[in-house]
Amino acid sequence: MELPNIIEKITHQEEREKREYFFALQIWDEGVKSAIWTIEEKGIKVVVLGSQEEWEGGVDELIAAVDKSLSVAFERFEGIGEEPSRVIFGLSDDWISGDKIIPEKQEMLSALCQRLDLKPIGFVSIFDALNYRIKEIEGVPPSMILINLGKKAINLAVIEAGKIYKVEKVLRSDNLGADVYEGLLRFEEVENLPSRMVLFNGEETEEARQILISFPWQTPSPEGKELSFLHFPKVEILPYDFDINAISLVGGKETAAFSGFKVDLEPKEREKKESLEFSKEKEFEKGEKEDNLGFVKGKDVAYFTPKMPKEEEIQEEGAAKKTDFLIEEEKPKTKPSFEFIRGNFFGKKIFGFFSSFLRPLEIGGGIIFLIALSLLFFLWNIPQAKITVFFSPQVLEKELEIIIDPNQETIDEKNLILPGQVIEVEIGGEKNISTTGKKTVGEKARGEITIYNRTDTKKVFPEGTIIIGPGELKFVLDREVEVASKTPNLETGVDEWGEAKVEVSAFDIGAQYNLAANSQFRFKDFPTTSFLGKNESAFTGGSSREISAVSEEDQKNLQKKLLGELEENAKNEILLKVPQGKKLVEEAISSSITSVSFDHKVGEEAQTLNLKLKVKFSGLVFDQKELLGLIKNSLSSQIPENFEFKDEEILTRFEFKEKKNDGSVLFSVFLQANLLPKLDTAEIIKNIKGKRPKMAKSYFSNISGFSDLEISFSPKLPKILEVIPKQEDKISLELRSRK
Residue 597 is assigned to a structural domain of this protein: no
- Distance (Å, whole) CA 405 – CA 620: 9
Mean pLDDT of 426-437: 90
- Distance (Å, whole) CA 562 – CA 553: 14
| DSSP H/E element including 644 | strand 643-644
Terminal CA-CA length for the chain:
64
Q: What is the pLDDT of residue 504?
A: 95
Residue 438 is assigned to a structural domain of this protein: no
- For residues 317 and 366, state if they share a domain: no
- Distance (Å, whole) CA 432 – CA 472: 43
pLDDT in tens, 574-619: 888 888 888 888 777 888 898 999 998 888 888 899 999 999 988 8
- For residues 57 and 186, state if they share a domain: no
| Rounded-to-10 torsion of CA 592, 594, 600, 603 | 50
- For residues 8 and 121, state if they share a domain: yes
Has residue 331 got a pLDDT over 70? no
CA 311, 314, 317, 320 torsion-angle sign? negative
- Distance (Å, whole) CA 513 – CA 155: 82
Half-sphere exposure of 713 toward its Cβ, with a 13 Å CA cutoff?
17
Name the percent of the chain lying above pLDDT 90.
22
Is residue 591 within 8 A of residue 570, CB to CB? The reply is yes
- Distance (Å, whole) CA 166 – CA 248: 23
353: nearest Cα among 370, 368, 340: 370
CATH for 481: 2.40.30.10
How many beta carbons lie within 10 A of that of residue 381, not counting itself?
11
- For residues 213 and 248, state if they share a domain: no
- For residues 88 and 158, state if they share a domain: no
Q: Which domain holds residue 695?
A: 381-391+678-737
Name the percent of the chain lying above pLDDT 70.
81
**Mean pLDDT score across all residues of the chain:** 78
Residue 606 is assigned to a structural domain of this protein: no
- For residues 352 and 310, state if they share a domain: no
- For residues 109 and 187, state if they share a domain: no
Cα angle: 693, vertex 696, 702; to 5 degrees: 145
Residue 422 is assigned to a structural domain of this protein: no
Going by the DSSP 8-state scheme, the letter that residue 350 receives in this structure is: I
Q: What is the pLDDT of residue 482?
A: 93
| DSSP H/E element including 379 | helix 364-381
Q: What is the pLDDT of residue 587?
A: 74
Which of 192, 213, 239 is the last residue in one of the domains? Answer: 239
- For residues 304 and 370, state if they share a domain: no
- For residues 57 and 152, state if they share a domain: no
Which of 475, 505, 540 is the last residue in one of the domains? Answer: 540
- For residues 277 and 302, state if they share a domain: yes
Residue 256 is assigned to a structural domain of this protein: yes
177: nearest Cα among 224, 210, 226, 223: 210
State residue 258 phi and psi, 5-degree precision. -65, -30
580: nearest Cα among 624, 620, 618: 624
- For residues 119 and 255, state if they share a domain: yes
pLDDT in tens, 684-715: 888 888 888 888 888 888 787 788 888 988 88
* Global pTM value: 0.39
Structural domain count of the chain: 5
Residue 414 is assigned to a structural domain of this protein: no
Has residue 27 got a pLDDT over 90? yes
Which of 503, 523, 540 is the last residue in one of the domains? Answer: 540
Residue 589 is assigned to a structural domain of this protein: no
- For residues 223 and 298, state if they share a domain: no
Q: What is the pLDDT of residue 570?
A: 86
pLDDT in tens, 269-294: 333 333 333 333 333 333 333 333 34
CATH for 142: 3.30.420.40
Has residue 171 got a pLDDT over 80? yes
Residue 400 is assigned to a structural domain of this protein: no
